[in-house]
Structure 1
Amino acid sequence: MKFAISYSTADGIDPDHLVAYARHAEHCGFEGLYLPEHIVLYPGARVGLFEFPPALPYPDPLDCLAFVAAATERILLGTAVLLLPYHHPVVLAKRLATIDVLSKGRMRLLTVGLGTLPGEARATGVDFGTRGRRTDEAIEVLRLLWEGDEKGVSFDGEFFGFDDLTSYPKPHGATHLPIHVGGSSRAAARRAGRHGDGYFPGGALPLEERASQWELARTTAADAGRDPGALEYTRWGSIDMSAEQVEDFAAQGVTRIVVSPTTTEPEQQRDEMSAFAQRFSLPRAR
């Protein structure tokens, strides 16, 4: 089992705190650090019963991860989730590859999702109803550009099109970056099976639905001629979870657990991270 940690910007973005948090997570032995994304918010924006405070700070996750990369040595960099339909994949391919090169191959926990706020789609000029198809196409474009050589690559799709493009630099020592798919729906599970390197479901899903979605991701991968055994399965966990709970996750096929501190107080956050690392004997940095 792999263990990663997320970083919340709910109380604002403090560069010193972000660096200290990332360095301590790395020292404790956490595999990766995840940041969320919202490009814009607005009064009345909500997901289910939760309404976003309009002033809730969401800094750009890729800029934050590049900042973290410069202050750390080995922790992997992740998003949960990057709202892919609101990014142009030609520009995004360059940004992600650049972070990966500068971090010496650590931009490896990219998780993408569709987004749930219609106003966010309108603000970026995206038809909310097409964001699923747009995401599928964007994943194709990202991989095509990363894998293309000096002869260039071409694409003719519903949303994106170009001829004979080259995109450099390439990811560090790899043909492409892993792309995990986030979401809480069967459509997301199918997308993970067709296009993803892993599935990262969120939300308070019933156990049976979680199992059904994971099986759907695997069967969709097999039907698409892909290896279902190569899919990673990431889930949210709690920082106070027990060894028995981790064993239960493993029995469900989970390969990575992402946890979050229960407090925004820096010293207590460090204590919670240290206690978790000790409980599960994470490989501490020297």
Structure 2
Amino acid sequence: MDPIVAARPTVDFLTKANYAAAAAARVDSFWVPDHLNSLFPRSLWNNPKYCGGAALLPRGDAYLEPWTMLGNIAARNRARLRLGIGVTDTGRRNPAVTAQAAATLHLLTRGRAILGIGSGEREGNEPYGVEWSKPVARFEEAMATIRALWNSKGELVNRDSSFFPLRNALFELPPYKGTWPQIWIAAHGPRMLRAAGRYADGFYPAFPHTPQEYAQRLEAVRTAASDAGRDPMSIKPALWLMTLAARNNDDLDEALESEVIRAAALNAPDHFYARHGAQHPLGIGFTGAQDILPQDMDEQTALSHVKVIPTEVVRDCLLCGTPEEIVDRAAQWRDCGVEYVVLANVGPLQRSLRKGAASMLPLMQALRRLRKL
């Protein structure tokens, strides 16, 4: 199994430090997120009482613009890592601009770009005046638009669409040695899974779910690919996981009681809670990351939510434990079809800055062992 490292939202030097750690661990690729703000309550993340990492990153919503950052990294990519965006949004980004950005990165990296893409989340659209309606229909049209432009061979493109009509549109950027960036789709629901089967080079879900659910969804993607006349086995089974490494079980238990770490579970859907006999703090049927609006949660509201989350739900949302435990849990995902994991380190979000920093060592140990799976 190929373990990969994804950057947390940081200022420039911390992102570069994450890249340096990824290169040192000899992983396959490095990813940055595409958000305007975080999926964690800022009232908790920005408070050193709850988040040790706030001493280094006092503004958790200070996300760098990802394509700009990837271009900067590409210029310094001596480790020749593949560079991915995990994932960009078809709501607030016009697909023609995304097609241009990804193709540019593919040229700059000599064929090492991966376009991670999904329908987006409410928090990155609605607060900024982007209509949050029919996100999957918009996604499907965006994918058709990107493929139409990449396949146009420099000819004018005309295409009817409810969202992205093309009228004598021109796309002259060339592929790199005949290849375009791989498209990895973050799909979860039935319609998105069918879209992944039609368009994806990689299946790349992120919202919390179980290995067994992954296997079922992968099968749905492959069935859709076969129905579309594609080779279902050509789609790379990948996965994004929030990861919390600890030196021992006592450190892990302490980290799992940290408010911001616990808030990660707010991004799980209500049916994930139901597996543990619990209900999502935001109500029955709440969908989790796709609809959460954490930026306006005040401190007491956020604390009231995280207080009632069962610790087992938090644990189940994360790839967490000692290096041995992380490898054992990753093996469960491997057995359900996952071949490629992207790990987002949430260790620095625990209360203790010292233990958050110290969590990097067991994470690096886990990375080395994951490569042997």
- The DSSP-based 3-state class of the residue aligned with 2:83 is strand
- Read off the aligned partner of 2:6 and give its amino acid letter: S
Contact 1:26-1:72 within 8 A present in 2 as well:
no
1:39 aligns with 2:45: no
Given candidates 223, 228, 241, the residue that maps to 1:224 is 228
Say which SS state the counterpart of residue 160 (structure 1) adopts.
coil
> 1:7 maps to which residue?
7
Structure-2 separation of matches of 1:211 and 1:258: 17
Amino acid at match of 1:4: I
Distance in 2 (alpha carbons) for counterparts of 1:152 and 1:268: 55
Unaligned runs of 5+ in 2: 47-58, 246-322
- The whole-number CA distance in structure 2 between the counterparts of 1:154 and 1:75 is 36
Paired residue type of 2:158: S
The one-letter code sitting in structure 2 at the alignment partner of 1:278 is R
Going from structure 1 to structure 2, the CA distance change for 1:102 and 1:206 (only over 3 Å counts) comes to closer
Whether 2:66 is the aligned partner of 1:61: answer yes
- Tell me the residue number matched to 2:285: none
* Distance in 2 separating the partners of 1:176 and 1:35: 19
> What's the % identity of the aligned pairs?
24
Q: How far is the alpha carbon of 1:262 from its aligned partner? A: 4.4
Amino acid at match of 2:365: A
Report the 3-state secondary structure (helix = DSSP H, G, I; strand = E; otherwise coil) of the residue aligned with 1:180. strand
> Who is 2:197 aligned against?
193
Residue 7 of structure 1: how far off its partner (Å): 0.7
Aligned to 2:84: 78
Kept after mapping to 1: 8 A contact 2:111/2:181: no
**Offset at 1:196?**
1.5
Q: Which amino acid aligns with 2:7?
A: Y
- Is this contact kept in 2: 1:219–1:228, CA < 8 A? yes
- What is the distance in 1 between the residues matched to 2:154 and 2:205? 37
SS at match of 2:333: helix
Structure 1 23/139 Cα, relative in aligned 2: closer, same or farther at 3 Å? Answer: same
Cα gap change, 1:137 to 1:259, in 2 (>3 Å): same
Q: With a CA cutoff of 8 Å and minimum separation of 6, indicate the structure with the bigger relative contact order.
A: 2
Change (3 A) 1:228 1:119: closer
> Could you tell which deviates more after superposition, 97-106 or 257-266?
257-266
Q: Which amino acid aligns with 2:178?
A: A
Question: Counting helix residues as a fraction of each chain, which structure ranks higher?
Answer: 2
SS of corresponding position for 2:88: strand
Q: Give secondary structure in 1 for the equivalent of 2:85.
A: strand
Pairing partner for 1:156 from 145, 156, 160: 160
How many pairs does the alignment contain? 270
Assess, with a 3 A threshold, how the Cα gap between structure 1 residues 39 and 151 changes in structure 2: closer, same or farther.
Answer: same
Residue 337 of structure 2 corresponds to: 253
Instruction: Tell whether the 8 Å contact from 2:212 to 2:336 is kept in structure 1 after alignment.
Output: no
CA distance in structure 1 between the partners assigned to 2:123 and 2:64 by the alignment: 20
* 1:232-256 deviations in Å (ceiling 9; x for gaps): 1112344535444343322211110
Structure 1: unaligned runs, 5 residues or longer: none
CA–CA separation in structure 1 for the residues paired with 2:124 and 2:116? 22
Q: Is the 8 A contact 1:21 1:270 kept in 2?
A: no
Q: CA RMSD in A?
A: 2.7
2:102 counterpart residue number: 96
